[in-house]
Amino acid sequence: MFWKETLRLRTLPIITKIIISLFLVLTGIGYLLGFTNIYMTYNMVDEKPGLSIKDISLTYYGARDKTTLEKAIDGSMRQYFLDKNEYKIVKDWVVDGASEDVWDSEIESIFDASCSTCHSEATALAGVVTEEYSDVEELLTQNSGKSWSRIVGVSHTHILAITPLVFLLVLVLSFTSYPLLLKNVVSLFAFSAVFMDVGFWFLAKLSPFFSVFVLIGGMSLGLTFGLLVVLPLYDLWIKKV
Ligand code: HEC
């Protein structure tokens, strides 16, 4: 890319070759530290060691199945309602957004009769209290993953930091003695990897289906850094003409 015929990197004075090599090596170390940071931050999200698709989907999409309250009334707590109709009233209330007005007018009395015997301030079985709206509110939060504003915030620093770095590395690669085709393919791949790496975060926020692509994007960026660091170093010091 950029230059077709040049004085190749390898013909530079030794001190210049060392300086360029230091740039390459430090960039490689920087990438590995960045990767370690990602691993250490995210590998335990699903409470199991090792970075997995589950870690990624919990991070970006969150666990949006049901709230704690909904799970409980659909599960082992359902038997405590006086009748089916009361269950239905509470279920509809939860699904409709669990407003405080309806709590006051209809729900509180049901909970007082059916739930708060075991879930009073004093007994608090399973650490759950169902006496006041503020108690029940805690059972209604849903985990929807990383916020959009956080994703936008991280993406802009990520893109603005990585793109110039990749550009410099591509520039170094363009002065190597590899075939033009190889240089072009690696360079185009490098920029598309930056694009994929960040782009898939947004898609993974929309749907857990894309979590696996976040992994693919991350691996593409890893491969990019690997190639852009190793190829020029090999060309500088080892490759025969
Ligand atoms: C007879 C006592 C009793 C009654 C009545 C009762 N619960 Fe429970 N509740 C428990 C116990 C024991 C647990 C912990 C074991 C379990 O989850 O099955 C629990 C757990 C829960 C949890 C936590 C579940 C979790 O996943 O952490 C919620 C929420 C809950 N109850 C809500 C309710 C609601 C709403 C009602 C009324 C419809 C109700 N409970 C009625 C005894 C009771």
CB 197 within 8 A of CB 218: yes
Nearest-CA residue for ligand 1 atom 14 is: 126
Type of residue at 196: M
Cβ-proximal residues to 155 (8 Å cutoff; 6+ apart), any chain: 198, 201, 202
Residue-wise pLDDT tens digits, 180-196: 999 999 999 999 999 99
Tell me: pLDDT of 2 over 60. no
- The count of other CB atoms within 10 Å of the CB of residue 56 is 25
Neighbour-count burial of 163, counting CB atoms closer than 10 A to its CB (0-12 exposed, 13-18 middle, 19+ buried): middle
CA of 46 to the centre of ligand 1 (A): 25
- Give the mean pLDDT of 16-30: 95
Nearest-CA residue for ligand 1 atom 16 is: 76
Which residue in 194, 200, 225 sits closest to 212, CA to CA? Answer: 200
Residue 112: per-residue pLDDT: 95
Tell me the C-alpha distance between 27 and 165, whole Å: 9
More confident residue, 57 or 233: 233
Tell me: pLDDT of 6 over 70. no
Residue-wise pLDDT tens digits, 72-86: 898 889 999 999 999
Give yes or no for residue 116 CB within 6 A of ligand 1: no
Give yes or no for residue 119 CB within 6 A of ligand 1: yes
Mean pLDDT of the chain: 89
Give yes or no for residue 187 CB within 6 A of ligand 1: no
Nearest-CA residue for ligand 1 atom 3 is: 118
Give yes or no for residue 224 CB within 6 A of ligand 1: no
CA of 72 to the centre of ligand 1 (A): 7
- Give the mean pLDDT of 87-107: 93
CA of 208 to the centre of ligand 1 (A): 30
Residue-wise pLDDT tens digits, 42-80: 787 777 788 888 888 888 888 777 788 988 898 889 999
The best mutation among 128, 129, 135, 142 to test binding of ligand 1, ranked by most ligand atoms within 8 Å of the C-beta, falls on: 128
CA of 113 to the centre of ligand 1 (A): 13
CA of 47 to the centre of ligand 1 (A): 24
Residue 5: per-residue pLDDT: 60
Residue 74: per-residue pLDDT: 86
Nearest-CA residue for ligand 1 atom 36 is: 115
Phi-psi region of 3 (alpha: psi -120 to 50; beta: other; left: phi over 0): beta
Residue 7: per-residue pLDDT: 65
Whole-angstrom CA distances from 91 to 3, 70, 203 are 67, 7, 31
Nearest-CA residue for ligand 1 atom 29 is: 69
- Give the mean pLDDT of 100-110: 95
Tell me: pLDDT of 166 over 90. yes
